[in-house]
Structure 1
Amino acid sequence: MGRKNKARLVPEQDRRILGGICICQLTVVLSIVSLVYLTVAVYLPSHRAFISGLDPVPFTCKTIYTGLPASSCSWASCGEWCLTKTSGLCPQINVMVRRNGSTLRLEGCRTESRVSCPPANPAALRRINCNVDEACGAISGVFNCSLGHCANMSEIYQCHNATGDGPTIDSDKDNMKLNGFFECHKSRCTKIRRPFSCDRYCPRVTTQGVNVMIMHGDTVHTAWCKRAFATSTDEGEEDDEAKVWEPQDGVLMANCQTVMRSEGGSTEASTSTAGYSTGGTTITGTDCVNGTLIPPDKLPKPSVNFTTLWAAYDASLDNPVDPEGARVPSENFLVINPYIRLYINLEGCVNTLRGECLQFLDTHGRDGRNQTAASRYPCFYRTITPEERIGWRRRPKNNVTTTEESTTLGVTSASPPTSTVRTTPAAPTTPATLASSDGKYAYARFDLAQTQKELVIAAAVPSALFVVSAVALLACTRGVRVGDDAKMRCTLCRTGSGSSPVHEPEEEGAGAGRRGAAGRRQQ
């Protein structure tokens, strides 16, 4: 006799009821978790943004000093993942905050050109392993060596006075002694002890037939133009445009954050890394400062190298294009805070986990070392009172040097090829004492409208899901009943003609079969 099948103690439930209850429970749990997480990620940051007191109109920041401490990261301009303490990359960016410069518009321009001299990257140089037999048997030039691994600096720099004055080492036999800077000829390398300097290899800038030179990062824009107009930087007169230059005044030089060229009503922006058409007739520069006039005979013809050009620009800063200092003024007259910390946002961190801090360091961390252009960008700072705005243009000059670009690279035998950063505050001299003591900082990202939009979405979506799911679960407690047969039934689901709950046909058939089987056992 076969094994008897025992009746199921718990009948099969209605999957629609079970699925609905499970989905509502899951939604409630996820909504609560989202609200807890968004409290840290959105709600608290939004509250800080609304009470921060930052001016929604951006100022201009220029990087003064960038530090990358290997240990003891007391603060960081950008940290990955806001829920943990910053670890790994620890960029510390200090900036100068100033008002925005003038908008410079040059008309009737022709023979436009652009010359760029991007920063050299010594880290990208291929290192030769002199520990391998005959690997350094035919090297020549100035090399930076460490334990027999040498990089040829002559590939990207033109070094001056880099003459060996120390012991001579055979790179094939005593390769482990190659530490420091050496002047090498074939396998004979002589150590360089005295400081020397190097220049980046840069194309020459044309000075023949041009009367305007606009600096933009590590790029020089040249043209011959008929006239120049500039807006005022005085409070309340930002839209007041006036003529500031004509060709007979001399060669006009200025430093602008962006440069655009327009022709036939179309405008194309120029950056230090993107090219553009050279057929424009109007050149427009934004945030232009340090406008100056240089006598034509002070510039060599027909071209000049970057080092000479920067030296001539520095020497002419005492001859401004606007003696009153209202249009294309000296950067010194616009300074609000000469040295202050920069954070990527009010939290000083991001949650994207996409290496965003490394990109931020690349775009905002250039501080002018190796005599390249310092990073310059819009930033947000506390609201300036009317009393602080008065007399900015007529302040006495401080000791902040504002020249950004130069190509000379100072090199010593005891340090990698770096140079003294020229854009530095006069006093104090250490980052710890230079940091602002009033608890106010500059921020690279701040958008109240976007913050409000994100807050509304982050609050409405999980709250609505929580309320809907909670109401659905409450309705289930009223509308779902468990019968004597341990099966859940919807008491709200009625037929159109009767008041009894809807029963499934197969369930009633199964019940009749069980009653028939019980009757046969009794017989």
Structure 2
Amino acid sequence: MPKPTPIEDLIIPPQDQKICGTICICQMTAVLSTVAIVYLTVAIYMPYTRAIASGIDPTPIMCSTTRAVNKDNCDWGSCGEWCLSKTSGACIQIYVNVRKNGSSLLLADCGSAANKTCYGIDQENAKKYHCIRDECKNLTGTFNCTEGKCINITDAFECAFRDTDPPLKCSGRRGKITCIDVHGLFSCERGTCRRIRTPYNCDRRCVDIPTRNKNVIVLSGDRVFLARCGKIVDQANATKEVWIDNGEDVVMLSCHFVQNGSAGVVAVDCINAALLPKIEISDLTNFTYLQYLYTVRATPNRDIAPSEVELTLKNDSRLMINLEGCVNTLADECKEFLKDYGRDGTDHNAKARFPCFYTEYSAETVVARFDLETTYRQFVVALVLPTVLIIVSCITLIFCQRTVEVGDDAKMRIKFCGAGSTEAQCHPTDPVSPL
């Protein structure tokens, strides 16, 4: 067994290690806290001051996407992944219609409920035909094309149109060059495609919607809810019955979402109520005919739910993810945001409909995210935590600067350790407090 080295013969005494460790930790904490404050100035402090000064009403209203525009040079964008570069380069600008909230209704005494979801085309996962790769030479059917990339919508939509542009031959030797930039809705036959001119109408192929013995039909985006109910009650005034079943009419509504409640089925943000004579509807129908009945044959009824027109505050407002129009998480938040909120109906699916926030002085710009309480909590934590760490670290460093000395033997020690002693140093094994 080797003879253990006496502690006094070690190169770095334990007291030196503790003092050096304390100084290094305090310096690192002070530096990192200072860097955090610089970062949080952009991420937390400035957004908080803007939120306080914005005057935005914390009560959400409703927005519907009207168009999503791709821009090469942006003066503003709906969402940027990093706030320091949010206005540079290309971006997507989303415009919305802004309106007050519709009615919240309770569908009471309901039975024979049914749900039917009419799926359109999933733009993210649908197969795309790239004309530049000569994949458009055999296209047959109806295709929605964007900058030379076409998606087959024949099975999901039925399109009615009158006029088309002159044909483009996507087959043959120059087919991929001819169709390299096709954009719009096209009717194709074995690679010969004609662009469909407006006006045209494309409705989803959604069949076998069970309407037998149903007297309430709620359209909610791509979903259709049907039931036989005894009455409809306005939740703002629980005693007010806005409709009672008379056995002759069917109520049709457009609502943000429908869910089961303790007292019945709750329909939130309902607008454009209409009454349809029961004789107009058969036992089974399809989505296209149901939309026709709702918009053409049914009679509006403002007593059940108001019309969208009378609730509208502003058309074509700018939509931003928050007051800055950007996020600093670098977690691809904008990709999901633009996917969900940028649905403007150009792919012939339902338009995005969602809560949003605005200031009562102006509805030119609205934001999708606004939570003043959460923003305040984040501000307090982001301000107090690094500030306290900096203060504690600096006080500790000042204490070390005034109390630690280096002796002639090149060892660090606390000055007051040798007070009243003939030897002016602490024992190497004495504990050293960082404070």
TM-score when normalising by structure 2: 0.82
Equivalent AA in structure 1 for residue 369 of structure 2: R
State the one-letter code of the partner of 2:269.
D
Q: Where do residues 84-483 of structure 1 align in structure 2 (5 Å cutoff)?
A: 84-87=85-88, 90-121=91-122, 124-127=126-129, 140-142=140-142, 152-160=152-160, 171=171, 175-176=175-176, 179=179, 181=186, 183-184=188-189, 189-192=191-194, 195=197, 198-231=202-235, 238-239=236-237, 241-248=239-246, 250-262=249-261, 265=262, 282-299=264-281, 301-315=282-296, 318-320=299-301, 322=303, 327-383=304-360, 440-483=364-407
Deviation at 1:127, TM superposition (A): 2.6
Contact (CA 8 Å) 1:164, 1:183: kept in 2 or not? no
CA distance 1:105–1:316, shift in 2 (3 Å)? farther
Determine the C-alpha separation between the residues in 2 that align with 1:488 and 1:66: 67
Per-residue deviation, residues 445-483 of structure 1 (Å, max 9, x unmatched):
111111111111101110111111111011112210122
CA contact (8 A) 2:50 2:323 kept: yes
By percentage of residues, which structure has more strand? 2
Taking a change above 3 Å as real, the CA distance of residues 19 and 74 of structure 1, as seen in their structure-2 partners, is: same
Q: Could you say what secondary structure the match of 2:240 adopts? A: strand
Distance (whole Å) between structure 1 residues aligned to residue 147 and residue 46 of structure 2: 52
Q: Secondary structure at the residue paired with 2:401?
A: helix
Work out whether residues 290 and 317 of structure 1, in 8 Å CA contact, stay in contact via their aligned partners in 2. no
Q: Separation in 1 of the partners of 2:264 and 2:339?
A: 31
Judged with a 3 Å threshold, the aligned counterparts in structure 2 of structure 1 residues 242 and 490 are, in CA distance, closer, same or farther, namely same
Higher relative contact order (CA 8 A, sep 6+): 2
Displacement of 1:332? 1.4
Q: 1:104 to 1:38 in 2, by over 3 A?
A: same
Q: Deviations over 1:393-432 (max 9, x none)?
A: xxxxxxxxxxxxxxxxxxxxxxxxxxxxxxxxxxxxxxxx
Native 8 Å contact 1:98 1:336 kept in 2: yes
Q: Is the 8 A contact 2:29 2:389 kept in 1?
A: yes
For structure 1, which runs of at least 5 residues remain unmatched after alignment? 1-10, 232-237, 266-280, 385-437, 506-523
TM-score by length of structure 1 reads 0.69
Residue 193 of structure 1 and its aligned partner are, at CA, apart by: 6.1
Distance in 2 of aligned mates of 1:315 and 1:333: 19
Say how many residue pairs are matched. 408
Larger Rg: 1
Check whether the contact 1:128–1:136 (CA below 8 A) recurs between aligned residues.
no
- RMSD over aligned Cα atoms: 3.5
SS at match of 1:91: strand
Correspondence for 2:412: 488
Q: Which amino acid aligns with 1:219?
A: R
CA deviations over 1:235-273 (Å, ceiling 9, x no partner): xxx4454111122261101111120124xx4xxxxxxxx
The one-letter amino acid paired with 1:200 is R
- Distance in 2 of aligned mates of 1:160 and 1:57: 41
- 5+ residue gaps, structure 2: 1-10, 430-435
Whether the aligned pair in 2 keeps the contact of 1:251 and 1:293 (CA below 8 Å) is yes
1:4 corresponds to: none
Q: Give, as a single letter, the amino acid of the residue that structure 2 aligns with 1:310.
A: Q
For the residue of structure 2 that corresponds to 1:27, the secondary structure is helix
Change (3 A) 1:15 1:443: same
Residues 494, 103 of structure 1: alpha-carbon distance in 2 compared, 3 angstrom cutoff: farther
Q: Which residue of 2 aligns with 1:428?
A: none
Q: What corresponds to 2:84 in structure 1?
A: 83
Q: Evaluate the alpha carbon distance shift between residue 130 and residue 244 of structure 1 in structure 2; reply closer, same or farther with a 3 A threshold.
A: same
Cα displacement (A) at 1:442? 1.0
- Residue 118 of structure 1 and its aligned partner are, at CA, apart by 2.3
Provide the secondary structure at the position in 2 that maps to 1:21.
helix
